[in-house]
Amino acid sequence: MAIEEIPGDPRFFERQGPFSLHDLFDGLKCQIKDLEENGKKIFTGVAPLQAAKADEIAFLDNRRYIPLIKNTSAGAVIISPEFQEHLPSSAVAIVTEHPYVLWAKIVARFFATMPKEALIHPTAVISPNAKIGKNVSIGAFSLVGDNAVIGDGTVLANHVSIGNGVVLGEKCRIYPHVSVECALLGNGVALHTGARIGHPGFGFAISQEGFHNIPQIGRVIIGDYTEIGANTAVDRGSVRDTVIGFGCRIDNLVQIAHNVRIGNCVVVVSQAGISGSTEIGDFVQVAAQAGLTGHLKIGSGARIGAQCGVMSNLDEKAEVIGSPALPFREFFRNVATLRRLSRRSGHGQKSEV
């Protein structure tokens, strides 16, 4: 079945514009080829290189896609200086050192993903003791508990549960089927579908009598402009708070255990797990399916590879991969050594990796 690509399908996204090239990029850091002549050209949207039309904008920041640019019909392309020579003359060059960042800003100018008009659905259940700010939207069958605070401009989608005493800052976006309890959220926080914030942590004592659940009396605190993906779980602290800093990006299906402390601008990719009381510095990157054991200290700027098993502290800007985790160079040196030994024994095959 042939499927037509429709970037920004109007059934799902509200399109803004059209815009002139000059208005669209006004105030943004870039150089537009022949701005005086091309600045008046009108553009209606964005699209990938292979599907873009003459009134759409595409981008290129990866050399793997250079073959696509030669035949693109895009009217303008956001591109880095090193790839500019490959751009056909039919497309206006919009040159920047950071094409992907500029692309994100342009897409945001064309499309709005949340409703602008503040609406509270008649099926929403809101405690009379809750404090609801200005221009707040609350979707169908959502619940706002006693003494909860919802900041100005925040949007709660359908089937959202906001527990007693929870605080949401201004302009938060809470998507369907999210639950939040025992938590304080800053401004501009986004919680995607099915996220679970502030439920009890996985804490229990063991005796001959069996398991004894330890009351989890801490909170979750999430800094401004952090985004948490679908079906991710963030446990509240046992006694200390679980804290996620400013501007973090937590992917789908991530587990963050009780008492974890995550710094600012940290990235955690899908299916990673961070065990209790581990502390992560600023600007750390944790790749997919990595596992961090409990009570660790991860230095700022560290990079943890996919499927990595981290069992000891990491220094600032450490780069590790493998399980147990090893520095990048040591890991790949070990892999190369094993391959050589395997080939010598007659059991190995040459690999292209």
Domain boundary among 61, 91, 112: 112
- Res. 1: pLDDT tops 80: no
Tell me which H or E stretch contains 186: none
Tell me the pTM: 0.88
Q: Please state the rounded mean pLDDT for residues 297-308.
A: 98
Q: With contact defined as beta carbons under 8 Å apart, do 258 and 276 qualify?
A: yes
Tell me which H or E stretch contains 297: strand 297-298
Domain count, the chain: 2
pLDDT, residue 59, reads: 95
pLDDT, residue 351, reads: 54
- Report the Cα 289 to chain-centroid distance in Å: 16
pLDDT, residue 208, reads: 93
**Catalytic site residue from 121, 177, 258, 295:** 258
263, 135: one domain: yes
Lowest average pLDDT, out of 1-15, 38-52, 265-279, goes to 1-15
pLDDT, residue 35, reads: 82
- Res. 350: pLDDT tops 70: no
pLDDT, residue 15, reads: 87
pLDDT, residue 60, reads: 94
80, 150: one domain: no
Q: What is the DSSP letter of 235?
A: P
107: its two tokens: 């897409």
Domain boundary among 57, 77, 112: 112
Is 258 a known active-site residue? yes
Query: Which residue is listed with tokens 């391959």?
Result: 339
Q: Please state the rounded mean pLDDT for residues 296-302.
A: 98
Residue 352 within a domain:
no
- Tell me the one-letter amino acid at 54: A
Confidence of residue 348 (pLDDT cuts 50, 70, 90): low
Query: Which residue is listed with tokens 């200390």?
Result: 240
Query: Which residue is listed with tokens 């109007």?
Result: 10
**pLDDT tens per residue, range 213-253:** 999 999 999 999 999 999 999 999 999 999 999 999 999 99
Boundaries of domain holding 196: 125-328
pLDDT, residue 7, reads: 81
132, 107: one domain: no
